Amino acid sequence: MQIIKYPEKETWANLLTRPTARLKEIEKKVKPILKKVKKKGDKALLYYALELDKAVLTDLLVSQEEIEEAKKQVSRPLKQAIAKAYKNIEKFHLAQQEKFKPVSTMTGVTCWRKSVPIQRVGFYIPGGTAPLFSTVLMLGIPAKIAGCEQVIMTTPPNREGKVHPAILYTADLVGVSKIIKSGGAQAIGALAYGTSQTPRVYKIFGPGNQFVTAAKQLVAKQGVAIDMPAGPSEVAILADDTANPAFIAADLLSQAEHGIDSQTLLVTTNEEIIQKVAIELVAQIEKLPRKEMARISMTNSRCFLVRNHEEALDLLNEYAPEHLIIATQDAKVLAERVINAGSVFLGNYTPEAAGDYASGTNHTLPTNGFAKAYSGVSLDSFMKKITFQHITEEGLQNIGGIVEKMAEAEMLIAHKEAISIRLRHLQESKANNQ
């Protein structure tokens, strides 16, 4: 972990760079993959399953038998844990339902808005180095509440050509319509362009590694919607002397273990805590099965010693972390000053891992600084907001002159005439009735 003491503001941009490869370099690898999928469809998916996932597949589609088999393989305690997480995630996302009342903007002019589900959505479920079945819940539950009709899921097969049973079990639980055994950029291409087995979707959701994220960003330029760039995981921790160094180390490692391109940050006003966390990291990392990955990722880690909490928050808002843990005495007060972050965790007993799995909030979040402009996945991500309006005869008389004036000033006379023709008609009918 690189320690940086009292950095001047002008140096922040350089110190806060992400370890992810430059988008241009990743794009060089991803573009030919997308092109091949567009041209060759399922044949390309089978080719990349062998080339990149070392899986010999005879069929890309997960069969009903495979799902039934998976349901038997998941243990009862895991099913119980999943059921509890499901309830919490459902509760939090149900609370996001919007009740929009019609608004009368002028007498006779009524406007309202309705949330309508996106009919066909695509999920990418990461499975390269760990089977992230929790992501199935994070995407599937809000999609179900929203009422999306068709959910097409893609996830990488393992070397035996199989998908992890817990991924299949949760997919069945949330009502996924079709599961395609394909990972990486090729899966994103399949969802964006469609193949004989993969229906083309209107919006692609889900996190993934740099290849997945770059592919999502590329297909977004070609017309398909995406949730957001949700790439390699990140966590930043703001700690004071009330924080527990062992907890901090555990939280840093929990995101470092995601992959070699994950990044973790510690920001503190307390020099002593840095040394204590460093000691804890050495001890805790040894116990992790993914310690090699975490060790590489921890080389991307930075620790900032800052003068005060004001400066800490400015630095963190500049970084815009995917996850921010505030482990300070006045965590709730400091949280008010957060303007750029995907999801915030307050206090010593709020580990980020709770949000990854079960507290209720969504774990599909913007990385790489995109939290400056994007929100994480929510119920709204699965909806379009359609606006409606109705204008009565009296309403048109009230609003007509305003529109005519503005249209004329924009030199759009057909617009003006769409109003004037009606106003004249109303005048004529009034005259005829007198």
Annotated binding site for substrate: 233, 255, 258, 323, 356, 410, 415
Q: Taking the complex as a whole, how short is the minimal distance between the CB of residue 421 and ligand NAD, in angstroms? A: 52
Q: Which residues are annotated as part of the binding site for Zn(2+)? A: 255, 258, 356, 415
- Interaction mask 343-372, Zn ion, x per CB under 5 A: -------------x----------------
- Are 337 and 326 in contact by the 8 Å Cβ rule? The answer is no
Nearer CB in complex with ligand NAD: 159/221: 159
**CB neighbours of 65 closer than 8 A, spacing ≥ 6?**
none
Residue 184 sits in the site that holds ligand NAD (CB under 6 A)? yes
Residue 262 interacts, among ligand HSO, Zn ion, ligand NAD, none and using kind-specific CB cut-offs from 5 to 8 Å, with: ligand NAD
Among 96, 129, 158, 284, binds ligand NAD (CB under 6 A): 129
Which of the residues 237 through 256 are near ligand HSO (CB under 6 A)?
255
Q: Taking the complex as a whole, how short is the minimal distance between the CB of residue 140 and Zn ion, in angstroms? A: 18
Which of the residues 305 through 324 are near ligand NAD (CB under 6 A)?
322
Which of the residues 226 through 255 are near ligand NAD (CB under 6 A)?
230-233
Residue 212 interacts, among ligand HSO, Zn ion, ligand NAD, none and using kind-specific CB cut-offs from 5 to 8 Å, with: ligand NAD
| Residues in the chain, overall count | 434
CA distance linking residue 425 with residue 282, whole number of Å: 82
Looking from the CA of 433 toward its CB, the CA atoms found within 13 Å total: 6
Among 171, 277, 293, 365, binds ligand NAD (CB under 6 A): 365
Catalytic residues: 322-323
- C-alpha to C-alpha distances, 207 to 217, 259, 271, 334, 346, nearest whole angstrom: 12, 13, 35, 29, 24
* Residue 388 structure tokens: 């409606």
Residue 127 sits in the site that holds ligand NAD (CB under 6 A)? yes
- Are 325 and 27 in contact by the 8 Å Cβ rule? The answer is no
Q: Which residues are annotated as part of the binding site? A: 124, 186, 209, 233, 255, 258, 323, 356, 410, 415
DSSP 95-123: TT---PPPEEEETTEEEEEEEEE-SEEEE
Angle (CA) 315 369 250, round 5°: 70
Among 18, 29, 276, 295, binds ligand NAD (CB under 6 A): 29
Looking from the CA of 184 toward its CB, the CA atoms found within 13 Å total: 26
Contacting range for ligand NAD; rule: CB under 6 A; set: 75-83, 142-150, 202-210, 404-412: 202-210
Neighbour tally for 388: CB within 10 Å: 10
Q: Say which DSSP state 149 is in.
A: S
Q: Taking the complex as a whole, how short is the minimal distance between the CB of residue 228 and ligand NAD, in angstroms? A: 9
Helix axes 23-40, 210-221, angle to 10 degrees: 70
CA distance linking residue 361 with residue 377, whole number of Å: 9
Please state whether beta strands 263-268 and 323-327 pair in parallel, antiparallel, or not at all (unpaired): unpaired
Residue 134 sits in the site that holds ligand HSO (CB under 6 A)? yes
Residue 257 sits in the site that holds ligand NAD (CB under 6 A)? no
- Where along the sequence are the contacts to ligand NAD (CB under 6 A)? 29, 52-53, 126-130, 132, 135, 156, 183-185, 207-209, 211-212, 230-233, 258-259, 262, 322, 363-365, 367
